[in-house]
Amino acid sequence: MTDTPVIQLSDLSIGFTGRAGHTLPVLRNIELTVRPGESIGLVGESGSGKSTVALAAMGYLKRGLRVLGGSATFEGHDMFALSRKELESLRGGHLALIPQNSGQSLTPTLRIGAQLTEALRLHSRLDPAQFPARVLELLGQVRLPDPQAITRRYPHELSGGQQQRVAIAMALAGEPRALLLDEPTTGLDVTTQAHILELLRDLARETGMAMVYVSHDLGAIARVCDRVVVMYAGEVVMEGSARQVLTAPTHPYARGLLASIPKLSDPHLPMALGGRPPAPGGAGDGCAFVDRCALASDLCRTSRPMLAPGPGGAPVRCHHADRADTLPMSSQGDHAARAEAGTAPVLSLQDLEIRYSKPGILDRLRGREDTRPATVDDITISIAKGETLGLVGESGSGKSTILKTIAGLLPPADGEIRFDGDAPLPRSVEQRGPDHLRRIQLIFQNPDDSLNPRHTIAEILEQPLKLYFGLSGTALQDRCVEILERVRLGGHYLDRLPSQLSGGEKQRVAVARAFAANPDLVLCDEVTSALDVSVQAAVLELLNDLKAAQGTTYVFVSHDLAVVRALSDRVAVLYQGRLCEIGPSAEVYALPSHPYTEVLLGAVLEPDPDTVPKLTADDVIELSPPAKGCPFQRRCPRKIGAKCDTDTPPWQTRDDGHAIRCHIPLDDLHRQQHADS
Amino acid sequence: MLQMFLRRLFLGAITVAIVSMIIFAGVEILPGDACTAFLEREAQGRVLENCREELDLNRPAVVRYLDWASDALRGDLGVSANGQRSIAEMVGARLQNSLLLAACALIVGVPTAIFLGVVSGLWRDRPVDLVLSTGAIFAMTIPEFVSATVLILVFSVWLGWLPGIVLTSANAPASEFFPEIILPVVVLAMVMTAHILRTVRSSVIEVMNSDYVQMATLKGVPYWRMVFRHALPNALLPAINVVALTIAWLLGGVVVIEVVFNYPGLGRMMIDAISDRDLPVVQAIALIVATVYVGVNLTADLLTMVANPRLRTLYTRK
């Protein structure tokens, strides 16, 4: 009985009709079997069709898509043959979905209580009088504090982690036998993500429901899933137990994907996977991965491999699976280029204080001081020439705020910024001269937002060149081509618009634009967060090469500790706009650590089924820093007493420049942390 | 929330004040004044002097503006240059007529527009939508006087079903405007329906593609319940502002329709005053229309805030 599949996709192909009238497949011959209580991970790059698979299992197709062949069944019901009424009773009941972005998936005009009650009314056999109690029970089950208050809130009044918990509670309302999760933790902080994943693991165990977990994050998959299905260009390319896929993958793509993930334990740069996946319908007769594969042979170009048991027994879609183990799987990229020792600081921040709020007119007239704690306070950092400083912390830690202030976009409330030993840098960008503007460049998180969609790549690159160097005519043209080649794009990109480029290519253009100004200092704000891991690896490699060639100094902001480790010489850890720890990256990632760094590091998920995250502090999101004492006092698992609430902790600095701001003496801290690990 | 409301009210008052200055200055810059307009060919020498003396036109412009503005605040809009009647009284009746026309057009137009917009958005790219969207574009692009003339030709001249022109006097009670008011209402409703329909349609399409609608569907919410509970409350928010603009337009800007149908509203009064060079009346009407615009937009913003929980929190937090 237990072997009857809950969800079964058989030979399922889904596609759309392209502009020229051809049918373009998005999914090709998908086979997927999910048994009761099993949790399956679906991994792949964006565009690989993994979300489409999850939605198809619910009998749902995005606008424009249609089934080309095959079937999707849930407990024997053919999902694409059911009537609308039958679908409605299954969806959200025995088969539920947890969406990627629950912030946007909860209806903004309805209170949380109303949305949960609706789910109960649709799928629960309870007496309506019991609904309010059941709503509270569900919210408690997903470990939300104060459920009563939550029911009265609107979705926008909750934090990202809370919204995700509400979405999970809503899915549980129908007592599902299978749960589909579409990137449920993408976009959440590491600590929140780790807590949500633990919750899902526990719930799966408690309720015995099957899970299909869609994610590009192999770390999350490793934590939650028994079996893993790797997708590429709308096909299943490999399938097996989590251990098999993550430790001994037999498909070249799976190996490449693993190699491109930066790992905490590994100070090397991750290895990029070159090329890009074929567009829908562009795979031709051969293997879809052939253009990016190191093992490709003539056979791969002419014949599409079948999904067949490979070495180790796991099904794999490759002609040369037996040779896949010759490909590297861990990051064997370069070491990040290092700064020369003893050079003068190129940038120093002195007692920087930043506030978003300004005192109101009335308060200013009455001469009242703003007594609220500053968003960012007491930041003193100096960065040597050619050095990369990583800034890490959860969302709301003030890391991007500091970048904006250095760039002059957000003048500081107090303190000064010195650049290249000069007099203090003017506070705002309007007051800075063209030379300062040129020498400090900023690269943003999302190239879709930072590149003007109506400008061609040439126009985008010409602007800094005209502005700072007064180039024109062929000199300008030549320089654009040269810059594009430096970011490995080439002159044929000049006439294109950003929309005609892939995500990775767009971010390269953004990098090229920053480097067109020939800057001394480049501020990188989460520059790889919006990219796929394989593309992220390529952008990291590019940044590192440019640094090696030009001695550029970077301030690199990211929430991903492994990415920061791969690129940075020194790392600063921020909590609530205050520095907790700063030092050479090897030291910061080793013991002893500030308790907050310890919490962050413990929550990082490695793509390895054997590592277990160490969850210590709660994943509560604090909206403002405490008025006095240690900024981390309210969440700290090693809090020693009233001193932490009242006194600002001292900096304890070691010989190697590693400094921790904590009341606990470093030796004690080291001993405690060593004992716990 | 209250602070926010008071601030907006204050800003609205400033806007009206600035507009009043511009109106006054505009009229001031024009060659001639109320006396030259009234006296026409006799406007010279002593007669003109006496007239100016009588109307206090010899005082500095700033003083006269302050006088005018403070009187207007108290509801006294002065007297017309021709006939020396109280402008407040003259405008009062006309304003009522304009309100009647606007109210009828709104009662007919807004529900129709929202209904058709929702239909068009839900059945996007289907025949219904194509017919409605194309129809809306036609209604928007054909000038009102053309559609008005065509309607008069069809319904009054050929079919003889409805009167083609309003003959009721300006001071008649509202009930006497029926059925003469029907054709102007239809023309106005057509134009405004087109605008509102297009906004509602695109907003419905956007909301129907949103994650939360997809989520509601995947949660098993029946289609119509999903539409009414999850989609429409969000999709209709942008409609509030368009409706507000339409109301403002109806109250002040339907000059052409009033002229074509000989409807005794504010718009036609304005045209008449301009051709008579009755400057005090022109000033008064311009001021009223500006105030209506500001007031209606303020109301719309407040309504949006009440209807949208996200904006509500934003402002209460502050």
CA separation for the pair B211, B197 (Å, rounded): 23
**For A91, which of B209, B218, B308 is closest by C-beta distance?**
B218
Buried-exposed string A57-84: b where 16+ CB fall within 10 A, e elsewhere:
bbbbbeeebebbebebbbeebebbebee
pLDDT for the residue numbered B200: 94
Tell which of A82, A86, A105 to mutate to test the B interface (max B CBs under 10 Å).
Answer: A105
Degrees (nearest 5) of the Cα angle A480, A484, A486? 120
CB contact under 8 A, A60 and B218: yes
d(CA B183, CA B166): 10
Residues A154, B212: C-beta atoms closer than 8 Å = no
Q: Which of A141-155, B33-47, B194-208, B296-310 is modeled with the greatest confidence?
A: B194-208
Nearest residue of B to residue A106, measured between CA atoms:
B212
Residues 6+ apart with CB under 8 A from A508: A487, A488, A489, A539, A542
ipTM of predicted complex: 0.77
Q: What is the pLDDT of residue A341?
A: 59
pLDDT for A2 equals 53
The 8-class DSSP code of residue A260 comes to T
* Alpha-carbon gap, residue B175 to B155, rounded angstroms: 21
Q: Are A35 and A2 in contact (CB under 8 A)?
A: yes
What number of other Cβ atoms are within 10 A of residue A133's Cβ? Answer: 10
Query: Are β-strands A95-98 and A178-182 bridged in parallel, bridged antiparallel, or unpaired?
Result: parallel
Which sign does the torsion angle of CA B91, B93, B98, B99 carry?
A: positive
The 8 Å CB, 24+ separation contacts for A134-137 are A134/A173
Q: What per-residue confidence (pLDDT) applies to B98?
A: 86
Domain ranges (residues) in chain B:
2-69, 94-275
Q: Between chains, do A110 and B210 touch, taking CB under 8 Å as contact?
A: no
Question: What pLDDT score was predicted for residue A336?
Answer: 67
Please provide the DSSP assignment of A364-419 as one string.
HHTT----SPPSEEEEEEEEETT-EEEEE--TTSSHHHHHHHHHTSS--SEEEEEE
Is B224 an interface residue toward A (CB < 8 Å)?
A: no
Which one, of A337, A408, A403, A379, lies nearest residue A552 by Cα?
A: A337
Looking at the partner chain, which of A104, A123, A167 has a beta carbon nearest the beta carbon of B220? A123
**pLDDT of res. A217:** 85
Widest CA span of chain B, in angstroms?
86
Q: What is the pLDDT of residue A358?
A: 67
**Cβ-defined contact of B309 to A156 (cutoff 8 Å):** yes
Query: Nearest-CA distance from A93 to chain B in Å?
Result: 7
**pLDDT band for position B317 (50/70/90)?**
very low
Q: Let me know the angle formed at the C-alpha of B8 by B5 and B12, rounded to the nearest 5 degrees.
A: 135
Would you state the pLDDT for residue A80?
Answer: 92
Within an 8 Å CB–CB cutoff, is residue B309 touching chain A? yes
For residue range B101-139, list pLDDT tens digits in order: 888 999 999 999 999 999 999 999 899 999 999 999 888
Instruction: Map out the domains of chain A as residue ranges.
Output: 249-333, 345-574, 591-676
Chain A contact present for B6, CB below 8 A: no
Segment B57-97, tens digit of pLDDT: 778 888 888 888 888 888 777 777 766 778 888 888 888 88
What is the C-alpha end-to-end distance of chain A, expressed in Å? 42
Strand, coil or helix: A353: strand
* Residue B318 predicted with pLDDT over 50: no
Q: Which of A552-556, A577-581, B224-228, B305-309 has the lowest mean pLDDT?
A: B305-309
B195 contacts B239 by C-beta, under 8 angstroms: no
- Which CATH code fits A345-574? 3.40.50.300
What is the model's pLDDT at position B41?
Answer: 73
pLDDT confidence of residue A366: 66
Q: Which of B209, B230, B307 sits opposite A107 (nearest CB)?
A: B230
As a whole number of angstroms, the distance between CA A615 and CA A353 comes to 31
Whether B214 and chain A come into contact, CB under 8 Å, resolves to yes
The confidence score (pLDDT) of residue B51 equals 77
Q: Taking every pair of C-alpha atoms in chain A, what is the biggest distance, in angstroms?
A: 81
Segment B226-237 shows an average pLDDT of: 92
Q: At A513, give phi and psi (nearest 5°).
A: -65, -40
Residue B214 to residue A58, Cβ atoms within 8 A: no
Does domain B94-275 match CATH 3.30.70.1150? no
- Which residues in chain A are closer than 8 Å to B233, comparing Cβ atoms? 109-110
- Phi then psi for residue A418, to 5 deg, are -110, 135
Identify the pLDDT of residue A619.
67
* Confidence (pLDDT) at A360: 60
Q: What is the H or E stretch that residue A467 is in?
A: helix A457-469
Would you state the structure tokens that stand for residue B295, as one six-digit string? 């007031």
The segments of chain A whose pLDDT lies below 50 read 1
Nearest to A617 by CA among A629, A628, A631, A627: A631
Which chain B residue is nearest to residue A98, measuring alpha carbons? B215
Instruction: Please report the DSSP string for B136-199 in residue order.
Output: HHHHHHS-HHHHHHHHIIIIIIIS--S-SS--S-TTS-GGGGTTTTHHHHHHHHHHHHHHHHHH
